[in-house]
Amino acid sequence: MNSVICTSNFKPFALILSLHTHFKTCIEHIHEFFTHQRSTIQKIETLNKRILAIDAQLHSTATFTAALFELKDILIQEAHLHNHHFFNQKIRKAYERFCNNLNRAHEYALSHCIEPWLNRDHNRQDKEKLVIARWLQASPAQRHFAAHYHIPEVPLKFSEIPAGSVLITYPFAFIRHMQLEKKISIFQTIYLLIKALYARICTGKQFTHVSLSMGHGTIFDLDKGRGQIKNLGDKVFYGIVLAPNKQKMLIAYHRCFPHTERIGFTELTAKINAEITKATEQKKLRHDIISIIQTSIREKRPRDYRCTEAWKSGACHFSCSATTSALFSFFGIDIGKQFNKIDKNIIE
């Protein structure tokens, strides 16, 4: 008869490790339940499947357009996911895998020339196709900003802003952009908030600065106490862009100068840009604390006010908005009329 001897192989460390693993898994499941992280992972996996389906569609001419529209929608969803800044490791790993697949499809779409696609496919409205193209060609920071504010188009680069546009600096939008990209410092935030508070007290609005687009990425700006021309190129403007009303500006110009030759908007902006260049070269434009304080003095226009004389050949000591207004007034485009203010007191 054979005998079998049973020995106990008890390992306390392995038991503790097993209990720790089960306890950690249980905690993660509870945390995922209350923070809806499981649904987030499922959403990422669904987006991943959509990306894999797009890969095949991008290689076919018949489905290329539909794939680009689908890709734009996925880019928006990715921007929303990025703005959540997940800390859970499972979600971050799933998100990274999704981003790798998305970047591969995105790069393939960009390499197949968006411009020929815009001119070739007439099944969609031109404006809609332009929006798709801008989303595909935008930087991640532009997409994150647009997704956060739920705006249909990504913010403009300075090179995309048309000449004659007024650029209004909104500090809270810039702060939000920097927070989304994890670039802002506490000192920069405090500085911008103080500027916004000061502008609110002096002008009743939270806008801290105004500049003017000269076209092709160049702006006219009052910075460091004097007028400057800056070439900002493809940098992105995170603020408010007031596009020019070309028709009204031309009507105002020809009404004020009826004996001059009829010109188009391109010629008008060329004249405005030439005047800016002349004034900045002469270094007559000044911007100081006194000009900023003047914006809080509600001085109404006299009846005999002549707006065209506010520019004074560029020798202005006005605030940034009043300087821009005076420049337009020199060409008969009276922005300050709607505020009933003289140009040195135009509020931002």
**116-167 tens-digit pLDDT:** 777 765 555 577 888 888 999 999 999 999 999 999 999 999 999 999 999 9
Residue 13, pLDDT score: 62
Share of the chain above pLDDT 70, in %: 87
Residue 157, pLDDT score: 94
- Tell me the average pLDDT across 6-13: 51
Residue 60, pLDDT score: 80
Residue 165, pLDDT score: 95
β partners of residue 223? 226
Q: pLDDT per residue over 278-300, tens digit each? A: 999 888 887 777 777 777 777 78
Mean confidence (pLDDT) of the chain: 84
- Is the pLDDT at 22 greater than 80? The verdict is no
β partners of residue 45? none
